[in-house]
Each structure stands twice: as C-alpha cells, then as structure tokens.
C-alpha cells in the first residue's frame, strides 16, 4: 500500500463582529465595584489581552462553525465536495448533549446550496481546547491508512468562552471558529503522524459542569498544568522521534501553541527553552522572535480565547507573517505545534510546509477578518451576559435583534429544546 503524505490542505477562520475593548469593560466594572480596579488592571497586564469578540444573540457555536466552513468552501472551489468523507467538529461548548455539532453544520451547508454528500461520517470530538486538534490528527491518520488519494475530510472548531462576570477571568473570554481541509498531498502543510507526543492527567484545573454556560477555572493551577504537560508531551515526542530535545528545538523554524490568552504560550515556551537549552529570559525572547512567535500571539489579544480554534488562529496569522520572511524557501520549513486541553491532555506534533504553501497562504484575507468589527456598547455586552435564550423569549429576542443579512443564524428554539438554523 502506498503511503501518501497527509496534512492541512487549507484553512479559514470566523469570528463574531461584536467587540468590546477591555479597558472600557474594566472601567464599567470598577464603576460598579471599585474593589475590582487593582485586580482587573493586573489581569489585563498579566494576560496581555486588549479586546474580546463575543457573539450576537442569534449566533452560537453552530452558526460560527458554518460561517467558517462556508468561507472555506468558497475559497477552495477546486475541491470536489463529493469526495469529502468525514465532517468532524471539535468543541467544548456544544449546543446538544447528544447530536454532534457537525451534523447541524452539515445540514446548514446542504440546505444553503453546498452539495455536501450524505455518504460521509459526522461526529464530534471533545477534550476541552484540544478537541479540534485531536479530531484533525485522528482523521489524518485514518486517511493515510485508508490510502484513497482522492478522499478528504473537513474539521471545524467552534467555541464561545464564558466565565463568571464580573471576575478577573472575564477579560479572557472570546469566541470564534475555524474550518480546515485534511487531505493527502496537501497544499499547506504535511503532518508527521509517526512521532506525535502526548501527555494526559486527570486534574480539575478547568471544567464546565453539566447545564452551565460558565467554565470554572483555577488560573494558577491551570497555568502550571499547561507548562508541565507541554514539557512531558515534548519529551514523549522526542523519544518517539529518537531525537535530542535541545537539537529538536533548534531545528524548528516556527512554533505555534494553544493560546488561552496571549502571554501564556510565551511563558510556556520560555520554560521549555530554559529546561533544554539553558536560555534565560532574553535569550528565549530572541530565539522565539527569530521564528516570528509574536505574530501568532497578537490576534488572540484582540479576539480572546477561541478554545478549540486558538491553535489554528495562531497558525494562520503566524504563517502569514512567516512566508514574508521565508519567501521561496517556505516549502520544507519545519513547524512544531502544541495543543492543550484542560482536564487534561497535551499533544505535540510537527509538520513541514508543503510545495504550494506560499500560494495557499496568499489567498488568506486575515487583515479583513481582524478589522471587521463593531465596537458594541457595554449595555449590549451585558445583555449577552445576562440573557438566557428559551423557547418562550426567543421570538421577541429575534425580533429585537435580527440577524445580519447573508449570515447563518439561530432562528428558532422549539418547545422541546431543538435548535433551528437558517442562512439569512
């Protein structure tokens, strides 16, 4: 059986248009409770967060995922959708305790003119923020084993990060989705599926109880779990690849990690570089900047935590910057990635830029994605925090907050709890 290289063929992102600047949010919270001033100021400084995106009342994880997938299919009209064999979704903020979010997304795309086949499998992968990456890695391995060169898979991620408000965790909320094509002989990046490293532990650093829209997070503990599991999974990766950790770090051309907030991957990488290369703070920063690390962090400071999509957000913006530096030398460049899911699991894996990576990335309009926003008033943001959508109140909410034309929307909540969607 022939073994084809498998990896990421292309990817797109979708984020809500509603934005609130955190300095404004903090000012309003302090006006309500002056005792919060020092805590919120410290939280914004330590996390590096500047603004967050949040969904409108007619948006949820399904509509955001559908927007990302629609953008992907519009971008890649050369892809034969009839050859799509799998549609997977990674999320930790699903809308249904039984039905996979990918099934909702499939139906939405099918009824709005995208002829996705019925001869495919849809399912959902959950492990906090790692679900989207675990979905990608497992289906990539399946495609490689199957050996059918023409078949492809779609992986979508979508999440809405919610915490107690007001609290210091409130400044690390966010929302967004991604969609990617996983294929043989990919245009963007070939994945090394032989030497993935893993680490998993049963901990309570972060969780969301059944029925709750709000996650419970132990900030300092979760940070420590992230750091420890990154080192453990990296060691597992190096062991499986039979490489020296120090030499492996020096061989990497770019690093992209899961980003709960913009400073967290930086501190994690500094610890890793100190452990294996003996670097101090300044040496670590110089090493990472040589590899364009900050370009992958910057969008999270403006968007917030996308949970399962945060690694892909970093990857897209980071690669967009790197190809300007690498130019024609882009194919073959080595990328190391790490995805963390609280509770917890860490995956460390690598890929190499594919021959058509430069032209693939050139089609991405990431600046437009980042710059299309509405600075919503605090009252609208507070309404999003306070509103619980029910079958009784949703018709009036929909009347007062009509969805934007041309976008997917939650258009109905039946009495039995089933959610109905349309493209408006």
Biggest CA pair distance of the chain: 67
Domain ranges of the chain: 6-423
Supply the pLDDT for residue 354. 98
pLDDT tops 60 at residue 1: no
Q: What is the pLDDT of residues 4-57, one digit of tens each?
A: 899 999 999 999 999 999 999 999 999 999 999 999 999 999 999 999 999 999
When pLDDT is averaged across residues 204-223 and rounded to a whole number, the result is 93
Residues 6+ apart with CB under 8 A from 27: none
When mean pLDDT is compared across 44-48, 65-69, 149-153, 239-243, the lowest value belongs to 149-153
* Whether the Cβ atoms of residue 295 and residue 254 lie closer than 8 Å to each other: no
Count CA atoms within 13 Å of residue 332 on its CB side. 3
Supply the pLDDT for residue 210. 92
Percent of the chain with pLDDT over 70: 100
Residues 6+ apart with CB under 8 A from 209: 216
When pLDDT is averaged across residues 223-243 and rounded to a whole number, the result is 97
Query: Band of the pLDDT at 169, cuts 50, 70, 90?
Result: very high
When mean pLDDT is compared across 19-23, 103-107, 112-116, 402-406, the lowest value belongs to 402-406
Please state which architecture CATH assigns to domain 6-423: 3-Layer(aba) Sandwich (3.40)
Q: What is the mean pLDDT of the chain?
A: 96
Phi, psi for 189 (deg, rounded to 5): -150, 130
Q: What is the pLDDT of residues 264-314, one digit of tens each?
A: 999 999 999 999 999 999 999 999 999 999 999 999 999 999 999 999 999
Supply the pLDDT for residue 146. 87
Q: What is the pLDDT of residues 372-392, one digit of tens each?
A: 999 999 999 999 999 999 999
* Whether the Cβ atoms of residue 17 and residue 320 lie closer than 8 Å to each other: no
Q: How many residues does the chain have?
A: 424
pLDDT tops 70 at residue 2: no
Percent of the chain with pLDDT over 90: 95
Position with higher pLDDT, 339 vs 3: 339
């Amino acid at each position: 059986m022939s073994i084809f290289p498998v990896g990421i063929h292309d990817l797109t992102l979708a984020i809500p248009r509603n934005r609130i600047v955190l300095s404004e949010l903090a000012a309003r919270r302090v006006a309500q409770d002056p005792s919060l001033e020092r805590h919120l100021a410290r939280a914004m400084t330590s996390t590096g967060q500047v603004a967050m995106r949040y969904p409108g009342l007619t948006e949820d994880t399904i509509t955001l995922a559908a927007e990302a997938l629609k953008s992907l299919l519009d971008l890649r009209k050369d892809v034969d959708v009839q050859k799509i064999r799998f549609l997977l979704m990674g999320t930790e903020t699903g809308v249904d305790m039984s039905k996979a979010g990918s099934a909702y997304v499939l139906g939405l795309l099918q009824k709005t003119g995208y002829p996705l086949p019925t001869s495919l499998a849809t399912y959902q992968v959950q492990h906090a923020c790692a679900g989207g990456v675990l979905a990608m890695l497992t289906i990539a391995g399946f495609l490689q084993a199957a050996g059918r060169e023409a078949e492809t898979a779609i992986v979508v991620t979508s999440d809405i990060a919610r915490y107690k408000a007001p609290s210091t965790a409130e400044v690390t909320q966010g929302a967004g989705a991604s969609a990617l094509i996983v294929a043989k002989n990919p245009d963007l990046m070939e994945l090394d599926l032989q030497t993935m490293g893993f680490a998993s532990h049963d901990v309570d650093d972060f969780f969301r109880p059944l029925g709750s829209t709000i996650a419970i997070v132990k900030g300092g503990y979760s940070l420590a779990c992230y750091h420890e599991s990154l080192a453990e999974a990296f060691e597992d990766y190096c062991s499986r690849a039979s490489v020296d950790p120090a030499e492996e770090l020096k061989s990497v051309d770019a690093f992209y990690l899961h980003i709960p907030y913009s400073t967290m991957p930086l501190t994690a990488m500094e610890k890793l570089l100190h452990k294996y290369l003996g670097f101090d703070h300044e040496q670590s920063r110089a090493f990472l900047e040589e590899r364009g690390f900050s370009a992958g962090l910057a969008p999270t400071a403006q968007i917030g935590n996308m949970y399962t999509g945060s690694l892909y957000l970093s990857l897209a913006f980071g690669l967009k910057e790197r190809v300007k530096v690498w130019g024609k030398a882009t194919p073959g460049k080595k990328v190391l990635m790490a995805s963390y899911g609280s509770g917890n699991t860490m995956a460390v894996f690598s890929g190499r830029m594919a021959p058509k990576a430069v032209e693939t990335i050139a089609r991405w309009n990431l600046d437009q994605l980042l710059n299309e926003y509405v600075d919503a008033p605090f009252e609208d943001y507070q309404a999003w925090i306070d509103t619980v959508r029910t079958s009784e109140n949703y018709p009036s909410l929909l009347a007062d907050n009509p969805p934007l034309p041309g976008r997917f929307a939650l258009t109905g909540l039946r009495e039995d709890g089933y959610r109905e969607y349309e493209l408006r």
